[in-house]
Structure 1
Amino acid sequence: MEGCFEKNTKFERLVDGEISTFPSENLTTIKLKASKNIKEFLLRRKLFPEQKIIEDAKGGWLIFETKVGFLNDIKGVIRYWMPEIFVLEPLWLKDEFLNELQIYLEKERKCCYTC
């Protein structure tokens, strides 16, 4: 059934250029700080979509930013690299991680004493 609809090139470019689970025009910029323990890995390979180095402190921290349309994609990667990576911006995302860690620690303490 040829010619039923026309391709929308705007959406086609959006889907082709997106590596997140769900393509989006509304991207969130996230600024991260990586320890020297994973710095070389991040310099050799783009771990995050749209990864852009902001500051490379010799022998120390690496500050970079990325843009994502679907936050759960990046949250999993950040959790994987903890405690070697830190969210600098946006502050609400940093607060989300700190809150999750607090809840985890409280549950861990309860589990250890009751199990």
Structure 2
Amino acid sequence: MRALFCILKLRVYRLSRIERIITSHQLAQFELEPDILQQLDNEDSIWFGYDKQEVTLSVHPDVALYFKQRKLFPEQVILTESAAGELLISCQIRHQKQLHPLVRYWIPYLKIIEPVHLQQELDAGLQGYLTSSQCK
């Protein structure tokens, strides 16, 4: 007898994108999976299956108040505040799409310090946008 292993990967879908629904008059029986329920309880985002990554950002003094008033990034923690009012914050992300839109919103007041490749990806994306918009 062969053992059958089922690897379950949670996915997120937008209900508004469902186009056709097929209904049945049969009653469906679903068994709750404790591991999946635990994973859903532990998540605060839609990025299932990705490892958390710590990100460090610098926040310009002109907008530091907003970051001190409330957490604007996932699991945001203020690491230091300079005498001039600049903040160094950390956050935990599972995917760069959790980070880049927020950083773009706060340009020019935010900069990704670590990991460096996330700032480089952001810079490349912005440079690509500027280059493509100049060609039109």
Q: Name the larger-Rg structure.
A: 2
TM-score by length of 1: 0.80
Instruction: For CA contacts below 8 A with separation 6 or more, give which structure has more relative contact order.
Output: 1
Q: Give the Cα–Cα distance (whole angstroms) in 2 for the partners of residues 22 and 107 of structure 1.
A: 30
**CA contact 1:14–1:24 (8 Å) conserved in 2:** no
Unaligned runs of 5+ in 2: 1-26
**CA contact 1:21–1:70 (8 Å) conserved in 2:** no
CA shift, 1:107, in A, is 2.2
Q: Aligned letter for 2:95?
A: F
* 1:7 match: 33
TM-score by length of 2: 0.69
Q: Give the Cα–Cα distance (whole angstroms) in 1 for the partners of residues 49 and 106 of structure 2.
A: 25
* 2:134 match: 109
CA shift, 1:54, in A, is 1.0
Q: Does 1:66 align with 2:66?
A: no
Residue-by-residue CA offset, 1:38-74 (whole Å, 9 max, x unaligned): 1011011001111111111133210011011122122
Higher helix proportion, which one? 1
Q: Does 1:43 align with 2:68?
A: yes
CA shift, 1:6, in A, is 4.8
Q: Give the Cα–Cα distance (whole angstroms) in 2 for the partners of residues 38 and 13 of structure 1.
A: 37
Q: Give the Cα–Cα distance (whole angstroms) in 1 for the partners of residues 94 and 55 of structure 2.
A: 11
Unaligned runs of 5+ in 1: none
* 2:51 match: 26
Count of residues paired in the alignment: 110
The residue matched to 1:50 in structure 2 has which SS?
Answer: coil
